[in-house]
């Protein structure tokens, strides 16, 4: 295997590991064969009393029954997920409904992001669009009144802001270019991601880290940092759509199957179905294999006039043609995505230094890029309000 092939294998494995980690630390550990301490064989068997013959017979019977039940439950899960997969394919074919009903993207958001990307942007052009989005107005007012940003303002103007129009002016156009896409993506996040309680927070943190990494890398590579930040923030919109769709579709299909099994008095099937929950392996595979394609379709439908995302997304989702080279924006986004995933794996001690080295080599990180990213704060906006 060549060095490049080894790097590619590592990059794919670590990206999948990062997707697994979205759904839970223990799940991600199981996927890489993590051995729990209690399962380690220390060489000396634990002393146990000798079982009576009747106990051995009962234990054997329970094991057989348990094994049969587990097989039946696995079969029920497989059949359930075949129906779910088919239903999701039909829903994803109608991307307009996914955008407006599943994710909840209003038409004003692409219009605002487009305006913010041009030199002729003005608060006056943004004001009517923001006023039509009550949630965005509330977010901007709350944001500008945070103690951290109030202390930055002039002591004579450090009064509490109570309306979106004033908030827009206090925050300023330069800062809104980072604030608006961030608030939009957070607004689209699922309200609940049970039975994966940390999924929403990790999606949010990953989006923020990817956007900030893209911004920092853009500065070093002559790429428009607003374009890089915005696309970095939007990159996980496909994941948001798939998580929402899967959890909603699972609940609907599951309830229908349970009701049918009960009505037809299929006791074993009914019992097996009641034990089923959304499957982390199914969802992780869904996210890693399809989320970028969904993001591409969503961004295409957002029909940006000035933000140059169309061709970058095509390069992120399809193999390069012979003789073609990556756009600078595509390279920045690839590296930002890799680095944000790396941050998550490092936080959970799920990546080794040699794996990281191969991963970074595969995406051609330079020393100056890594040095800059190592000293970057990925938790907060890099903005200042006058």
CATH number of the domain to which 199 belongs:
1.10.3210
132/261 same-domain check: no
248/179 same-domain check: no
233/273 same-domain check: yes
Q: Which of 169, 188, 207 is the last residue of a domain?
A: 188
Residue 63: its pLDDT value, please?
57
Residue 68: its pLDDT value, please?
66
205/350 same-domain check: yes
Residue 239: its pLDDT value, please?
98
304/345 same-domain check: yes
Q: Is 197 helix (H, G, I), strand (E, B) or coil?
A: coil
88/154 same-domain check: no
119/227 same-domain check: no
Q: Per-10-residue mean pLDDT for the chain, 386 residues long? A: 85 94 92 54 45 56 61 88 96 96 96 94 95 95 81 62 91 94 96 94 96 97 96 98 97 96 90 92 95 97 95 94 92 98 95 94 96 91 66
Place of tokens 């329970």: 62
Residue 384: its pLDDT value, please?
66
210/183 same-domain check: no
Q: Which of 160, 188, 216 is the last residue of a domain?
A: 188
| 297, part of any domain | yes
| Domain, as residue range, for 83 | 1-20+75-93+193-381
Residue 157: its pLDDT value, please?
56
Cα–Cα distance list, 29 to 107, 348, 349 (Å):
41, 10, 10
CA Rg, the chain, in Å? 25
- CA pair distance 292, 285, nearest whole angstrom: 12
Residue 3: its pLDDT value, please?
82
CB 123 within 8 A of CB 180: no
For the entire predicted model, the pTM comes to 0.88
346/229 same-domain check: yes
């Amino acid at each position: 295997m060549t060095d490049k092939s080894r790097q590619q294998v590592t990059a794919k494995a670590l990206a999948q590991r990062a997707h697994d980690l979205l759904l839970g630390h223990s799940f991600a550990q199981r996927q890489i064969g993590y051995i729990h301490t209690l399962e380690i064989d220390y060489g000396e068997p634990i002393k146990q009393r000798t079982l009576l013959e009747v106990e051995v017979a009962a234990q054997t019977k329970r094991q057989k029954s348990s094994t049969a039940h587990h097989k039946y439950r696995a079969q029920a899960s497989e059949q359930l997920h075949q129906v779910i997969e088919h239903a999701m394919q039909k829903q994803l074919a109608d991307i307009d409904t996914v955008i407006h009903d599943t994710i909840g993207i209003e038409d004003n958001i692409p219009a605002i992001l487009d305006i913010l990307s041009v030199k002729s942007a003005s608060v006056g052009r943004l004001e009517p669009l923001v006023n039509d989005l009550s949630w965005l107005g509330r977010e901007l007012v709350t944001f500008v009144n945070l103690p951290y940003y109030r202390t930055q303002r002039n002591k004579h103007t450090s009064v509490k802001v109570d309306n979106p129009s004033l908030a827009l002016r206090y925050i300023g156009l330069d800062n809104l270019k980072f604030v608006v896409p961030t608030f939009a993506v957070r607004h689209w996040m699922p309200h609940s991601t049970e039975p994966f309680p940390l999924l929403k927070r990790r999606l949010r943190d990953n989006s923020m880290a990817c956007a900030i990494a893209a911004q920092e890398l853009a500065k070093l590579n002559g790429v428009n940092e607003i374009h890089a930040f915005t696309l970095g923030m939007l990159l996980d919109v496909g994941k948001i759509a798939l998580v929402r769709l899967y959890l909603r579709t699972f609940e609907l299909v599951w309830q229908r199957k349970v009701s049918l099994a009960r009505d037809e008095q299929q006791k074993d099937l009914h019992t097996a179905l009641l034990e089923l929950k959304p499957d982390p392996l199914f969802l992780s595979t869904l996210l890693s294999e399809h989320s970028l394609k969904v993001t591409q379709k969503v961004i295409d439908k957002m029909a940006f006039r000035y933000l140059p995302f169309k061709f970058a997304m095509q390069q992120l989702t399809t193999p390069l043609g012979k003789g073609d080279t990556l756009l600078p924006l595509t390279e920045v986004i690839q590296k930002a995505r890799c680095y944000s995933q790396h941050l998550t794996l490092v936080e959970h001690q799920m990546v080794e230094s040699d794996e990281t080295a191969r991963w970074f080599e595969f995406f051609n990180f330079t020393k100056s890029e890594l040095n800059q990213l190592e000293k970057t704060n990925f938790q907060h906006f890099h903005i200042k309000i006058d």
